[in-house]
Structure 1
Amino acid sequence: MREKILNAAAEMFLTYGFKSVTMDDIAHKIGVSKKTIYANYSTKTKLVQATGNHLLNTISKGIEDIRNQELDPVIENFEIKRFVNQHLKGEKTSPHFQLKKYYPKIYENLHNSQFKVLQDCVSENIRRGIELGYYRKDLNLQFITRIHFIGMLGIKDKDIFPIEEYDEAALMSEFLEYHLRAICTEKGLKILDDYIHKNEK
């Protein structure tokens, strides 16, 4: 039951936002009483915390599975992007910034955990890419991982990128291409351009 609640809560929070979704809404969604929800999560805050951790764990596991496939480092970025988009699709109400505004402690904990996941993922991807000649040898790993993380957060800012003007999935594609063109060698750029020509356009 807890997993059923978490899955429903995650879908609704991402679609409608953390503020507007109520425990009644979630109970109605899965066809149980509100008492059942409260029996598993005594407050909405605890459910938000559990849902955030659930989403982070799901995405982290998916990223790990992709990394274990030992794909070409350039292509690996696109596979991770595709996976993340699938799990965060429908993000039209800026749940990221609603979480920051209404549940700041939960946001801070998840923010720190997200950075650790991304830091590990990006750093290892760049190391492999350098070894294989796809990425430049002079890259500053610490800088690249941090600027990448800041950029990923930045494209979620609906004040800078209003929903009416920008599609978040398209923004992520643009940002990823921007990131890769900044670090790729000619060899890497060839793979990038071929992939974009076949899949992204």
Structure 2
Amino acid sequence: MRDRIIHKSSELFLTLGFKSVTMDDIASTMGISKKTIYVHFSNKTKLVEAVTFTLFENICDGIDCICETAPNPISQLYDIKMFVMQHLKNEQASPLFQLKKYYPSIHDALKSKQFEKMHESVSESLAKGIETSVFRPNIDVEFIARLYFNGMTGIKDEIIFPREKFNMHYLMESFLEYHLRAIVTDKGMTILNNFINKNQS
């Protein structure tokens, strides 16, 4: 039952927002009593926390699978972008913005976990790219891994990139190309151009 509550709550939170959805809404949608939810979660904050980190773990598992099977680091980044976009497709209520506003401690803990995960995977990807000659050998892996995280986090800031001017697909696509153009070799540029041309066709 706990997993069912998390799954249904995830759908509601991503569609309607963390603030808007009440425990009554969740109970009503699931056809259970509110008491049943409170058996597993003492309050809404605990439920929001469980939903947030379950979603995070699911995304991490998907990214790990991509990292294990991608033929090269450029393909890996594009595959991860597509995977993340699939997860974001049902978001209609700016959940990250609401999480930061109404549940700041959960937001900060999530950001810390996201940094650890992304820093590790991006650093490994950069090292592999240098090793396979698709990224320049003189790049500063530690600096660029942190810069990439900062950029991916920054494009989700709706104050700087309002959704009425920039949709998330455009932002992720443009930032990824911007990032890769700065670090690829001629060999890497050929691979990158293939992805750019494929996405434009």
TM-score range with shorter-chain normalisation? over 0.9
Cα distance in 1 for residues equivalent to 2:19 and 2:78: 31
Runs of 4+ in 1 over 4 A off after TM superposition: none
Task: Give 2:131's aligned residue.
Answer: 131
SS at match of 2:182: helix
Cα deviation per residue 1:110-162 (whole Å; 9 max; x = unaligned)? Answer: 11100000001100000001101000111111111111111111111111111
Partner of 2:67: 67
Q: Secondary structure at the match of 1:156?
A: coil
Counterpart Cα distance in 1 of 2:30 and 2:139? 49
Q: Does 1:195 align with 2:195?
A: yes
Q: Quote the residue 1:184 is aligned against.
A: 184
Identity %: 50
- Matched residue type, 1:46: K
Q: Does 1:156 align with 2:156?
A: yes
Secondary structure of 1:63's match? helix
Displacement, 1:70?
4.1
> Which deviates further from its counterpart, 79-88 or 31-40?
31-40
For 1:46 and 1:175, the matched residues in 2 are separated by: 34
2:52 matched residue in structure 1: 52
Conserved? CA contact 1:94–1:157, under 8 Å? no
Alignment of 1:1-201 (within 5 A): 1-201=1-201
For the 8 Å contact 1:53–1:110, the answer to whether it is kept is: yes
Q: How does the TM-score come out when normalised to structure 2?
A: 0.94
Give the Cα separation in 2 of the matches to 1:6 and 1:37. Answer: 10
* Per-residue deviation, residues 69-98 of structure 1 (Å, max 9, x unmatched): 142111000111111111122333221121
Q: Which moved more, 1:17-26 or 1:119-128?
A: 17-26
For residue 107 of structure 1, report the CA deviation from its aligned partner. 1.2
SS of the aligned residue for 1:68 comes to helix
How many residues are matched? Answer: 201
For residue 84 of structure 1, give the secondary structure of its aligned residue in structure 2.
helix
With the length of structure 1 as denominator, give the TM-score of the two structures: 0.94
Counterpart AA for 1:12: L
**What SS does structure 2 have at the residue aligned with 1:143?**
helix
The aligned amino acid for 1:197 is N
Residues in 2 aligned to 1:197 and 1:6: alpha-carbon distance in whole angstroms: 40
How far, CA to CA, are the matches of 1:51 and 1:73 in structure 2?
Answer: 30
